[in-house]
A and B are shown apart, each in its own frame.
Chain A
Amino acid sequence: MLSALLKKCRWTQKHLLGIRDLSREEILSVVDLAAGLKKEKDAGAPLKGRRLLNFFAESSTRTKTSFGIAARALGLEVLDLSPAASSLTKGESLKDTALTIESMGVDFAVVRHSASGAPHFVAGKIQGSVLNAGDGTNEHPTQALLDSLTIRESLGKINGLRIALVGDILHSRVARSNLWAHAKLGNEVTVVGPPTLIPRHIDALGARVSTDLDAVLPEMDVVMMLRMQLERQQAGLFPSIMEYHRFWGLTRERMARLRPGAIIMHPGPMNRGVEIAAEAADSARSVILDQVANGVLIRMAVLLLLDRCS
């Protein structure tokens, strides 16, 4: 069953560094494989005897846990180079960390780092496959893949849709991975937020730009709210939480502007009362918990495909 599913997949990547590197067929292969895995009761430990190392140089609980669950479901041995135990605090260079990982003989290294491009750097130093679990303000590819699976499950298709990404586009690797994904999949993405949090030239990633959430909402099939980090206010990028909520929050009042069937997504963790109100987060339109569940399946699918090409 699993091998039949895998056989249909197209995949040529040794690493998963970014959605930017994937073809439309590769994105769809991951989504299809994850959807197939959902029907399987037991994956049967096909990767038994191999080793996965989580290297999270930036704090994370849900993504790291999700990778761990996915890896164990496939029979992988999971190691953790957690920030407190790692050499980061001792000032070890990323090069030495990568060489250490290599000498531990791991098949998969899951890397999260505050510097954009760090997973690419590690990939150049080790024999195994690198999975980017979020690098700086660049990409978070498994998030965009799990978002794509969730959208397809909810709406029955993953092309020809209108998707709004709302919030801090400037710093969001989730936004950027989704932009790459939906440009390839044939969905139209509008980025919405304070003008100070929308990077110039974002149209280079195929995005439409708006600063008027009220005007955009009625046209959207998918509304993806992004986490607003409070330090952005201290950096002078917007005046206050209340003003942000007033103009760019998904409030109870704005829920009425959504078209029938439109879904609400959020990569988590949510700031309730800031970018999203309870009436939105907990509504029947919300697929936020589906996103979490699908995260494990997507990460299993990616590991299986990378294993095939390693």
Chain B
Amino acid sequence: MTTLLIQGGRILDPASKRDETGDLFVADGRISRARPKGKPDRTIDAKGRWVVPGLIDMHVHLREPGREDKETIASGCAAAAAGGFTSVASMANAGQTIDTATAVVYVKARAAETGLANVFPMGAVTKGLGGRELAELGTMAEAGAVAFSDDGQPIMDSEIMRRALEYAARWDRTIVSHCEDATLTRDSVMHEGRVSVELGLRGWPSAAEASMAARDGMLARMTGGRVHIAHVSARETVEVVRLMKSMGVRLTAEAAPHHLACTDESLRTYDSRFKMNPPLRAREDVDAIVAALADGTIDVIASDHAPHTTDEKERELAACPNGVVGLETTLGVVLTDLVAAGRVPLMRALEAMTAAPARILGIDRGTLAAGATADVTIIDPKLRWTVEPSDFHTRGRATPFAGRELVGASTATIVGGRVVFERA
């Protein structure tokens, strides 16, 4: 039996509302209630540290197979481990679309080879992300797809969205919806607002997101299916999420760190590391999303980690792809800009990165309860560090947080009882 003792840390487990200083035991890859007999194989001193369930990022683009120049499953898993994430849910829009059971099995197998993080694949909703024909959701679900999403592309055809919600419910899977009325966002590069007018850039109106979230909520209500609104960026969408939840719709939502911490003012530099989809919006939007995260209206924090090559990203705004990396900055940004700033309670912020995504994905993770798989993240809440993209494990370099000083970082990441990352 392999045993691990994590000694003297502040144990925080949102799933069980546990917050106490003490020792955490791991035996044979599981959290153990009792101290195992004899001297542990390994002891980690966690005094002054927080010991939390392994963090889960349910919105990650791993790019493999097909675009290994942007990211491989191995480099993405290394970034996850370094950022304190023990589990990621991978999006289906890899270089080759994950729309068959074969592809789902491939992603799982490649991730298992790295051993650095659990990868829970999402399958595409429609074949080739084409938005026209359902992919084999049942066969993919049985092969291990935890949810379905055409993320990167909206599902414009409402009938297809309806059928996807109905069909996926057969396997109790969530449809993760990229809400964007594409007829309203052609050629846009940033939020449509005062700043876009000043900068002479074409805007992406908030209504394009909120209206699709409302559509999806109504379809979920009608079908009894489950929908998860990816990367909420607009205050109007927050109101839609609130309304749907008040009506009892099976709808959940996530927000990305950049939408929780950055505004469209950043675009004044015309720098492509601030271009992502949906775009950075106004201060009022950021404030509404932070408040909704604090009160639980927005369930989850997810990075929308979307690596691109520097060649692709170092171009003028109109020509560069959407997306920034996030796995290695999410925890620091959340602890600094939300928790230390007093805007989101610590337990809520942790829940949004542990128990909440585990519940939505239906995965057996996100808690430190006895018997649970020993996925654990140890955090130094006082560690002061500066975001330096050249130090990243991900192959992507574009981040809106480059150069930012953050307080708080993971110091050890443990997957299934094995230490996969330790900060030097």
Instruction: Report A's interface with B, CB cutoff 8 A.
Output: 194-196, 200, 211, 233-234, 236-240, 242-243, 246-247
Contacts and interface: CB of A to CB of B under 8 A. Distances in A.
Nearest to A244: B138
Interface stretch (B7-15, B129-137, B358-366): B129-137
A247 B171 CA distance: 11
Contacts, number: 44
Contacts of B167: 194-196, 238-239
A23 B176 CA distance: 48
Contact of B163 (A196, A242, A246, A247): A196
The winner among A236, A238, A242 for most chain B CB atoms within 10 A is: A236
Given A195-B169, A247-B138, 20 more contacts: A194-B167, A195-B166, A195-B167, A196-B134, A196-B166, A196-B167, A211-B170, A236-B133, A236-B157, A236-B159, A238-B134, A239-B133, A239-B135, A239-B136, A239-B137, A239-B138, A239-B139, A242-B136, A242-B139, A243-B138
B160 interface: yes
Contacts of A236: 132-134, 157, 159-160, 163
Contacts of A238: 134, 167
Given A194-B167, A195-B166, A211-B170, A234 B138 contact: no
A237 B163 contact: yes
A234 B136 contact: no
A246 to B, nearest CB: 7
A237 B136 CA distance: 11
Given A195-B170, A211-B170, A233-B133, A246 B138 contact: yes
Contacts of B127: 239
Interface of B: 127, 132-139, 157, 159-160, 163, 166-167, 169-170, 222-223
Nearest to A234: B133
A246 B170 contact: no
23 contacts: A194-B170, A195-B166, A195-B169, A196-B166, A200-B222, A211-B170, A233-B133, A236-B132, A236-B133, A236-B134, A236-B160, A236-B163, A237-B163, A238-B134, A238-B167, A239-B133, A239-B135, A239-B167, A240-B136, A242-B136, A243-B136, A243-B138, A246-B138
Contacts of A247: 138
Contacts of B134: 196, 236-239
A242 B142 CA distance: 14
A200 B224 CA distance: 11
The winner among A195, A211, A233, A242 for most chain B CB atoms within 10 A is: A195
Nearest to B101: A243
A196 B167 CA distance: 6
A243 B167 CA distance: 12
Nearest to B170: A211
A249 to B, nearest CB: 12
A243 B127 CA distance: 13
The winner among B132, B163, B169, B222 for most chain A CB atoms within 10 A is: B163
Contacts of A237: 134, 163
Nearest to B168: A195
Contacts of B223: 195
A36 B314 CA distance: 85
A240 B101 CA distance: 13
A240 B222 CA distance: 24
A289 to B, nearest CB: 32
A258 to B, nearest CB: 22
A194 B136 CA distance: 12
Contacts of A200: 222
Nearest to A240: B136
A211 B224 CA distance: 14
A200 B137 CA distance: 21
A196 B127 CA distance: 17
Contacts of B170: 194-195, 211
A240 B134 CA distance: 8
Contacts of B136: 239-240, 242-243
A234 B132 CA distance: 8
Nearest to A200: B222
A196 B137 CA distance: 12
Contacts of A239: 127, 133-139, 167
Nearest to A194: B167
Nearest to A233: B133
A254 B127 CA distance: 28
B105 to A, nearest CB: 16
Nearest to B137: A239
Nearest to B163: A196
B186 to A, nearest CB: 24
A196 B169 CA distance: 10
Nearest to A211: B170
